[in-house]
Amino acid sequence: MFCPSKPNRDAINAFIAVQQNQNFSYAEVGCTRQKAPNGYTADHNRIKLGQGIDTFERAKSAVHQWKMFDMPWIDLCWPDTPIEPGATVAVVISHLGFWSMNACRIVYPVEERASVEKYGFAYGTLPDHGEIGEERFTVEFNPEDQSVWYDLYAISRPTTLARLAYPYTRAMQKRFARDSKAAMKRAVPF
């Protein structure tokens, strides 16, 4: 949904309330658990956050607080949204002189205690989103070398409108990945 000015809290809450009853905008719900389905573009980005279990605990806390969205051109509404399936958020983005509200819902949490410990979640797009697809946000701890990583995996395909501005939308996706990694580095200092 496009807005000529930044939407206020009431408008955002009304937008989220309507989106909570919508189905996902794609059939392959949960697809970020594996390889991208045909017809989607996959983007995989990683950045090392540091070393040790204390760093991993800070990284988990940062994901829980949605710190990966801490960038000046995006507002995550709302960062106190619980990390649980079905929770719906709005991502409010400043574009070239206008704003957009994009709806997403958490698809699944990630909490693995295998050879590499992982924590995070994936969310998927709802009908009022500028793209179609799913994005997974995880932090990982490798006990063998004590490394802590932020991992961002997204699969997407453009809506009809986004296809008209595809070079711009791809640039925005790349900017989000870059700024999200930087936000996590700020949230989990060495």
At 54 the pLDDT is: 97
End-to-end CA distance of the chain, in Å? 39
- Give CA–CA dist 51/53, Å, rounded: 7
Identify whether the C-beta of residue 52 lies closer than 8 Å to the C-beta of residue 172: no
3-state secondary structure 28-51: CCCHHHCCCCCCCEEEEEEEEEEE
CA atoms within 13 A on the CB side of 99: 17
- Residue 169, C-beta contacts closer than 8 angstroms, at least 6 positions apart: 130, 131, 158, 162
pLDDT at 160 over 80: no
Q: Which pLDDT tens digit goes with each residue over 13-30? A: 999 999 999 999 999 999
Tokens of 127: 């009908």
Give residue for tokens 């809290």: 9
Q: Which pLDDT tens digit goes with each residue over 86-144? A: 999 999 999 888 899 999 999 999 999 989 999 999 999 999 888 999 999 999 999 99
Strand segments (E) across 30-130: 41-51, 74-77, 88-94, 99-113, 117-125
At 179 the pLDDT is: 98
Identify whether the C-beta of residue 125 lies closer than 8 Å to the C-beta of residue 131: yes
Domains, in order of start, for the chain: 2-187 (3.30.530.20)
Q: Which pLDDT tens digit goes with each residue over 30-53? A: 999 988 899 999 999 999 999 999
- Residue 61, C-beta contacts closer than 8 angstroms, at least 6 positions apart: none
At 100 the pLDDT is: 92
Identify whether the C-beta of residue 128 lies closer than 8 Å to the C-beta of residue 103: yes
Q: Confidence class of residue 162 from pLDDT cuts 50, 70 and 90?
A: low
At 3 the pLDDT is: 86
Q: Confidence class of residue 165 from pLDDT cuts 50, 70 and 90?
A: confident
